[in-house]
């Protein structure tokens, strides 16, 4: 029987999936190449002010939005900011929250754990990086008559999309940082977001400052992060 280009499931069209099966040898090599490429990704806190074209940011966002999501609701909005005045407002508000966090909200243990990263309350990258991408999660959608429409597994979905965005940024030869000023609600206000959106993550995007140094961290070996049941 000839393979159909599409079929019907519950009255909905399903299209033929384009498979991408590799030979065993290619499979081993391709997975290894990608691991080695991603193993070079590092969180970078110092940026060059070199511009990055808007088109690139749009492509990175489209890549993130290929992520799987609960019932394919894609419960996210990626806000991309290059406007200098707005970046300054974001920096000022983030630093105001971070000051309180570092001075009173974070435990001594937490601050000790962060010592190797060399973080502090000052966030110049929020003005220097050419783009800030603020990821918002949609806790629900808003229907035609203003009613709440459910989304599913919102944190998981937006977390996966954010991971794919970080991967895409690295793949483009750019750098980013998962910045989470806490609390983050100032971002919804500054960016005029609708009532169903909550800030999830802030990612500065750009080229690293040259030279840039990053903490000499090591990643856990396979034995420490996995268990095989064969
Ligand atoms: N949000 C603060 C503190 C901070 C917390 C964690 I957990 C980090 O891995 C890094 C920083 C800041 O951005 O400095």
pLDDT in tens, 146-200: 999 999 999 999 999 999 999 999 999 999 999 999 899 999 999 999 999 999 9
Distance between Cα 110 and ligand 1 center (Å): 9
What is residue 20's predicted lDDT score, i.e. its pLDDT?
86
Contact 78, 162 (CB under 8 A): no
**Position 1 confidence tier, pLDDT thresholds 50, 70, 90:** low
Buried-exposed string 197-216: b where 16+ CB fall within 10 A, e elsewhere: bbbbbbbbbbbbbeeeeeee
Q: CB count, 10 Å around CB of 137?
A: 21
Q: Encode pLDDT of 188-218 as tens digits.
A: 999 999 999 999 999 999 999 999 999 999 9
Whether 180 lines ligand 1, by a CB cut-off of 6 Å, is: yes
| Residue 106 CA, ligand 1 centroid: distance in Å | 10
Reply yes or no on whether the pLDDT at 71 is more than 70: yes
Contact in structure between 110 and 98 (CB atoms under 8 Å): no
Q: Identify any residues that bridge with 131 across adjacent strands, giving them in sequence order.
A: 205
Ligand 1 centroid distance, CA of 27 (Å): 37
């Amino acid at each position: 029987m000839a393979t159909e280009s599409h079929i019907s499931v519950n009255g909905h069209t399903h299209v033929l999936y384009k498979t991408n099966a590799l030979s065993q040898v290619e499979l081993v090599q391709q997975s290894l190449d990608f691991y080695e490429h991603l193993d070079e990704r590092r969180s970078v806190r110092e940026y060059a002010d070199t511009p990055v074209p808007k088109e690139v940011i749009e492509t990175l966002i489209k890549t993130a939005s290929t992520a799987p999501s609960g019932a394919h609701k894609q419960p996210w909005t990626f806000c991309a900011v290059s406007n200098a005045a707005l970046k300054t407002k974001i920096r000022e508000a983030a630093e105001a929250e971070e000051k309180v966090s570092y001075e009173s909200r974070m435990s001594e243990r937490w601050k000790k754990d962060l010592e190797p990263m060399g973080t502090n309350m000052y966030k110049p990258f929020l003005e220097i990086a050419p783009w800030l991408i603020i990821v918002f999660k949609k806790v629900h959608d808003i229907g035609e008559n203003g009613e709440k429409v459910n989304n599913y597994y919102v944190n998981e979905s937006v977390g996966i999309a954010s991971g794919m965005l970080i991967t895409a940024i690295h793949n483009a030869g750019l750098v980013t940082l998962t910045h989470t000023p806490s609390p983050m609600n100032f971002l919804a206000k500054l960016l005029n977001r609708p009532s169903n959106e909550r800030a999830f993550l802030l990612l500065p995007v750009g080229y690293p400052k040259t030279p840039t140094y990053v903490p000499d961290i090591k990643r856990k070996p396979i034995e420490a992060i996995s268990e095989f049941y064969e």
